[in-house]
Chain A
Amino acid sequence: MNWEAVIGLEIHAQLATRSKIFSGAATAYGAEPNAQACAVDLGLPGILPVLNAEAVRMAVMFGLAIGAQIASPSIFARKNYFYPDLPKGYQISQYERPIVYDGRLEVTPPDGKAFTVGVTRAHLEEDAGKSLHEAFQGMTGIDLNRAGTPLIEIVSEPDMRDAAQAGAYMRKIHSIVSYLGICDGNMQEGSFRCDANVSVRPHGSTRLGTRTELKNLNSFRFVERAIEIEIERQIELLEGGATVTLETRLYDEVRDETRSMRSKEEAEDYRYFPDPDLLPVVISEEMLEEIRAALPELPDARQQRFAEQYGLGAEQVTQLTASPSMADYFETAVGTAACDSKLAANWVTGELTAHLNTHQMEIDASPVTPELLARLLMRIADGTVSHTGAKEVLAAMWDGDGDADSVIKARGLEQMSDSGALEQVVEQVLSDNPSQVQQYRAGKTKVLGYLVGQVMKASAGKANPAQVSALMKSKLDAV
């Protein structure tokens, strides 16, 4: 049978506020356990939540960025369940009136086949703490640093049909929240997390199959891989006459499999009700307009501009706009160097990206700042340094050996562009290689490459090959 997969994603994006959603405690990652948990985060008797206005503003930014509706008022509700790392015995979330609802997102994956994903809702909520099982023999440690960190949970419609679409949608959301500056997007630290709901059905059917929910998908690759193997697993089950069980499954990246975590049959009743400690959140028209006016340039717009303004190809545009910091880097470099934008694009997506990948570094952390790269680009453009020499300069700058000019000088990497000096070397090579000169003049023009190589060798690589070639040719052809 021909099967079709149906996929919806729930993405949790941690909002990049300085303090928590309902308390003044800091949200920075990696502090000593429980060092960033105040009385509110601990759920002490008598404490009350106070909503962080910044978190609301960020959620509204997201809603506007995806063309969604903004609810006013929106309501906070309590989601009641017992868990040791949930200090109050309930999570403050939104249920019946989420702040963002009914959005649509156009996604263009690398294969170019655009598709649209409905965003059902995006609601504000507080994160829970963490249970630490490893460090304690036979006991569980509780770290409440993360408790109360603001999240938006972005719930899509089941509009995706394969793993690649799910991956592309998730990347798009990732790039939007990054461009908005409302989430650091760090998947390793859990700032951007995803659960996937996956089901399959016979092609052409309009009824949904039984779904499973996949958890622990902390990279784009894992999301795609887990969905792929889950689709295969479900198809295999159905083709073998079995049924899919409604359940939550965990992706194990080591074994590359999903396995059952808990059945959804015994679904918990969270007993949602409006939180009486918090007022309905009202977003005025003025506030909405103010936020709209202050929205930064979004990924789609920036891509379009990069293609038009810099005349770059689709692949380079995609690479350069993958993150706002990458795009900012490129624009600063090309602007400072005032050079050909393709030259700048080639160096940022080529050699610089290679260095970043080797060191597993984000562009923000690059020791070669865009200003430093710009100096190098200028020296390439004005012919001071050859392409090969420039690679060495970049490597030296990466190691902190100073700017392009000082590296070029210290290492003697200037190209020999003084035509008098170059002419001398060319003359020397011609007189040293009479048989090749003869061959050339007899019509075997291929030997030109050899002769040019000899000049490069004699000049210790400092000559400009194009210049050498032209000079050599004119001398050989002159007689």
Chain B
Amino acid sequence: MHEQSVAELQRGLQARQFSSVELTMSCLARIEALDRGLNSLITVTGERALAQARAADARLAAGDSSPLTGIPMLHKDIFCTRGVRTSCGSRMLDNFVAPYDATVVERLDASGMCMLGKTNMDEFAMGSSTESSFYGATRNPWDGERVPGGSSGGSAAAVAARLVPLATGTDTGGSIRQPAAMCGVTGIKPTYGRVSRYGMVAFASSLDQGGAIARSAEDAALLLAAMAGFDERDSTSIDKPVDDYPALLAQSLSGLRIGLPKEYFDEGLDPGVAACVEDAIREFEGMGAVIADVSLPHAPLSIPAYYVVAPAECSSNLSRYDGVRFGYRADGASDLMDMYKRSRSEGFGAEVKRRIMVGTYVLSAGYYDAYYLKAQRLRRRISEDFQKAFEQFDVLMGATAPSVAFKIGEKADDPITMYLCDVYTTGVNLAGLPAASIPVGFADGLPVGLHLIGDYFQEARLLNAAHQYQQVSDWHLQMPRDLGERSPADEKR
């Protein structure tokens, strides 16, 4: 059952081959059996999931179901879930039980999905390896010695290990696409403003965007369609109808214009990764796509621009964690200033503190123009490069990440090397564009992701291209072996 697509699972549910309760119990059993090794979940919400499954079964029986009714899923622990701890991977919010649901949570609940738990992540989504989580590193299902990428590493690992078919993620600089690449799954970050940020704990507000992690583009299309749409509670969400992603998957790729930004094929790209990407591009060519080179001259400046803008916004967004109203508060403070300092020193981890300090610095009087404003100008240049490229191309492609998954601890003490994991992904966030990552092979036995970037609101185009590729390849069907013991529930099936 855990190898079936969402559409297959939905057919099984409709045909009463199994119930949502049985499906949910099977996934919970798999989590129970495998997640001790993976550590992809921070919180398992079995009771809540089963209650939702029972409600889903009733809806299915009543013929009042959506394509996602009764399907198990996980939320990244950055989405507020009423009555369930929302930790954001931080000691600061270890005790925070959200009193409200994020819009994304509301929508997926309304679609009849069953949330089985909250996934592990880099603290406050700041990281590319899921190592900075207060709850310990998540392990890559393909190699337990390696990271799953990040920050949505828990969601990507859980989907790769087939704990659930679908999970949500968020992407500020590559946090959906990079872990999807490293875990061999499909991830899509939509256009900025397509998915509501309401109830999604903010890291860098102008870059943060929720999205979908799934085994295939077809599954991702179903999840994203249910997440996307205007929300009056998020002023930056966009009031524009959502395309019917699943219905547009079948379009032919004949004549699709694919651009290969030369800056994405630089000397930093691992040759094994490059080989897989080039093979995939040949597949697209075989399906009728037209391939040509293009240049995004300011792309190499994405990382410096990103690491000014994101910390600046983060330093302000994380000011609310002061120990006064919620979250971690240090004991025995001598006065207000002492309470602030100790609560924040003890509640935040090293990477979060580093970014708060960088962000505070770049916004300070005397530095604002040299850093923040300059980064904003670069941001416009980066966007203009993309806009120019989209005059000639429908989709831009390259590698999602310059290398395959690295070893746990390998880059943990070297922030700059870690930041370079996002060299191909951050520009997309700075421009607010939609982008996806799909599995296109293995290098050194580890998954490689292809990065697909589209123009604003071209999510359907990206999913269509990804889906057509997945019709002629089976990388997305590969499953990690040796995940540890099998659950009794699974054996029965």
CB within 8 Å for A50 and B206 given contacts A88-B319, A273-B316, A273-B363: no
Q: Is the pair B235, A277 in contact by a Cβ cutoff of 8 Å? A: yes
The answer to whether A88 touches B320 (Cβ under 8 A) is yes
Q: Does B360 lie at the interface of the complex (its beta carbon under 8 Å from any beta carbon of A)?
A: yes
* A282 sits at the interface (CB 8 A): no
A residues contacting the other copy or chain, number (CB 8 A): 28
Q: Is the CB of A43 within 8 A of B325?
A: yes
B131 contacts partner chain A, Cβ-Cβ < 8 Å: no
Q: Is B198 touching A279 in the complex (CB atoms < 8 A)?
A: no
* Interface 1/0 per residue, A385-404 and B, CB below 8 Å: 00000000000000000000
B8 within 8 Å of A by Cβ? no
Min CB–CB distance A400 → chain B (angstroms): 48
Given A45-B86, A269-B365, A89:B320 Cβ within 8 A: yes
A to B contact number (C-beta, < 8 Å): 100
Neighbouring A residues of B363 by C-beta, 8 Å = 80, 271-273
Taking the complex as formed, is B173 at the interface, i.e. its CB lies under 8 A from any CB of chain A?
no
Contact check: which of A39, A78, A89, A273 meets B100 at CB < 8 Å? Answer: A39
Task: Pick the interface stretch among B32-40, B91-99, B152-160, B180-188.
Answer: B91-99
List residues 206-225 of chain B with CB under 8 A from any CB of chain A: 206
Interface residues of A in 1-60 (CB under 8 A from B): 39, 42-51
Interface residues of B in 197-253 (CB under 8 A from A): 197-202, 204-206, 232-236
For residue A51, which residues in chain B have a CB less than 8 angstroms away from its CB? 235
B320 engages A278 (CB within 8 Å):
no
- For A256-277 the 0/1 string (1 means CB < 8 A from B) is 0000000000000101110011
Whether A43 and B312, one on each chain, are in contact in the complex, defined by CB atoms closer than 8 angstroms, is no
B324 at the interface (CB under 8 A from A): yes
Q: A80 to B361: give the CA distance in the assembly, Å.
A: 13
Asked if residues A279 and B236 are in contact (CB atoms below 8 Å), the reply is: yes
Interface string of B301-345 (1 = CB under 8 A from A): 000000000001101101111101110000000001000100000
Q: Mark A441-462, 1 if CB is under 8 A from B, else 0.
A: 0000000000000000000000
| Residues of the B chain whose Cβ atoms lie less than 8 Å from the Cβ of A49 | 235
Task: Report chain A residues within 8 Å CB of B318.
Answer: 89
Residues of A within 8 A of B93 (CB): 45
CB within 8 Å of A: which B354-386 residues: 360, 363-365, 368, 372
Given contacts A87-B325, A89-B320, contact A50 B235 (CB under 8 A): yes
Q: Which of A45, A89, A279 contacts B201 (CB 8 A)?
A: A45
Decide if B326 touches A44 in the complex (CB within 8 Å): yes
A142 to B336, CA, bound (A): 13
Asked if B324 and A278 make an inter-chain contact with CB atoms under 8 angstroms apart, the answer reads: no
Contact A273 B372 (CB under 8 A): yes
Docked-complex contact A89 and B326, CB < 8 angstroms: no
Q: Does B102 contact A (CB under 8 A)?
A: yes
Cβ of A90 within 8 Å of any chain B Cβ, yes or no, is yes
A45 to chain B: which residues have CB within 8 Å? 80, 86, 88, 93, 96, 98, 201-202, 320, 326
B325 CB to closest chain A CB, in angstroms?
6
A279 to B100, CA, bound (A): 24
A82 within 8 A of B: yes
B residues less than 8 Å from A88 (CB atoms): 319-320
| Complex CA–CA separation, A306 to B199 (angstroms) | 55
- Count residues of B near A (Cβ-Cβ below 8 Å): 44
> Which chain A residues border B336 with CB–CB below 8 Å?
84
With A44-B100, A48-B197, A49-B235 given, is the CB distance from A142 to B80 under 8 Å?
A: no
What is the bound-complex CA distance between A399 and B82, given in angstroms? 55
Question: Known: A39-B100, A46-B98, A273-B312. Is A278-B235 also a contact (CB below 8 A)?
Answer: yes
Residues of B within 8 A of A48 (CB): 197-198, 233-236
Once the chains bind, are B319 and A46 in contact (CB under 8 Å)? no
Contacts of B201 in A (CB 8 A): 45-46
A276's contact among B313, B320, B368, by CB below 8 Å, is which?
B313
A44 touches B99 (CB 8 A): yes
Complex Cα gap A88–B316 (Å):
8
Decide if A43 touches B320 in the complex (CB within 8 Å).
yes
Instruction: Give bound CA distance, A101 to B92, whole Å.
Output: 42
Q: How far is the CA of A279 from the CA of B364 in the complex (A)?
A: 23
Q: Which residues of B contact A46 (CB under 8 A)?
A: 79-80, 86, 98, 100, 102, 197-202
Q: What are the residues of chain A within 8 A of B80 when measuring CB–CB?
A: 44-46
Interchain CA distance A82-B80 in the complex, whole Å: 24
Q: Of all chain A residues, which has the CB nearest B206? A: A276
In the assembled complex, the Cα of A353 lies from the Cα of B196 at a distance in Å of 56
Q: Which residues does chain B contribute within 8 Å of A276, judged by CB atoms? A: 204-206, 236, 313
Contacting residue for B316 out of A47, A90, A269, CB 8 A: A90
* A362→B261 CA distance, assembly (Å): 72
- Once the chains bind, are A142 and B319 in contact (CB under 8 Å)? no
User: Which residues from B are CB-within-8-Å of A90?
Assistant: 316, 319
Q: Which of A65-108 contact B (CB under 8 A)?
A: 78, 80, 82, 84, 87-90
- In the complex the two chains form, what is the Cα distance from A89 to B98 in whole Å? 19
Q: How far is the CA of A142 from the CA of B339 in the complex (A)?
A: 16
Q: How far is the CB of B200 from chain A (nearest CB, A)?
A: 6
Bound CA–CA A414/B26 (angstroms)? 95
CB-nearest residue of chain A relative to B373?
Answer: A273
Say which residue of B200, B206, B316 sits within 8 Å of A78 (CB atoms): B316
Least CB distance from B328 to A in Å reads: 12
In whole Å, how far is A131's beta carbon from the nearest beta carbon of chain B? 10
**Which residues of B are found within 8 Å of A47, using beta-carbon distances?**
198-199
**A416-443, CB under 8 A of B: which get 1 and which 0?**
0000000000000000000000000000
Alpha-carbon distance A141/B60, docked complex (angstroms)? 51
CA distance A80 to B368 in the complex (A): 14
Q: What's the least CB distance linking B102 to chain A, in Å?
A: 6
CB distance from A293 to the nearest CB of B (A): 28
The residues in B between 62 and 121 inclusive whose CB is less than 8 angstroms from any CB of A are 79-80, 86, 88, 93, 96, 98-100, 102
Tell me the smallest distance from the CB of A226 to a CB of chain B, in Å. Answer: 28
Q: Which residues of A contact B321 (CB under 8 A)?
A: 89
Contacts of B324 in A (CB 8 A): 84, 87, 142
Q: If A271-B316, A276-B313 touch, does A82 touch B322 (CB 8 Å cutoff)?
A: yes
A269 CA to B201 CA in the complex, in Å? 26
Cα-based distance from A46 to B98 in the complex (angstroms) = 9
Which A residues touch B99, using CB under 8 A?
39, 44
The answer to whether A50 touches B98 (Cβ under 8 A) is no
With A89-B319, A269-B365 known to touch, is A50 a contact of B325 (CB < 8 Å)? no
Residues of A within 8 A of B96 (CB): 45
Query: Which residues of A sit under 8 angstroms from B206, Cβ to Cβ?
Result: 276
Q: Are the C-beta atoms of A50 and B372 separated by less than 8 Å?
A: no
Query: Closest chain A residue to B199 by CB distance?
Result: A46
Rounded to whole angstroms, the CA-CA distance of A50 and B236 in the bound complex is 9
The listed residue with most A CB atoms (<10 A of its CB), out of B98, B340, B363, is: B363
Which of A78, A90, A277 has the most chain B CB atoms inside 10 A of its CB?
A277
User: A82: which of B79, B235, B236, B319 is its contact (CB, 8 Å)?
Assistant: B319
Q: How far is the CB of B168 from chain A (nearest CB, A)?
A: 13
Contacts of B98 in A (CB 8 A): 44-46
A43–B325 Cα distance when bound, in Å, is: 9
Q: Mark A264-301, 1 if CB is under 8 A from B, else 0.
A: 00000101110011110000000000000000000000
Cβ-neighbour of B235 out of A84, A87, A271, A279 (below 8 A): A279
Other than the given A50-B235, A78-B316, A80-B363, 12 more pairs (CB < 8 A) read A44-B80, A45-B326, A47-B199, A48-B198, A50-B232, A89-B316, A89-B320, A90-B319, A142-B324, A271-B315, A271-B365, A271-B368
Sample (9) of A-B pairs whose CB atoms are under 8 Å apart: A42-B326, A43-B325, A45-B86, A46-B198, A48-B236, A78-B316, A84-B324, A273-B368, A273-B372
Interface residues of chain B, those whose CB is within 8 Å of chain A, are 79-80, 86, 88, 93, 96, 98-100, 102, 197-202, 204-206, 232-236, 312-313, 315-316, 318-322, 324-326, 336, 340, 360, 363-365, 368, 372
A residues at B contact (CB < 8 Å):
39, 42-51, 78, 80, 82, 84, 87-90, 142, 269, 271-273, 276-279
User: What 7 pairs between A and B have smallest CB-CB spacing?
Assistant: A89-B319, A276-B206, A271-B363, A276-B205, A46-B199, A45-B201, A46-B80
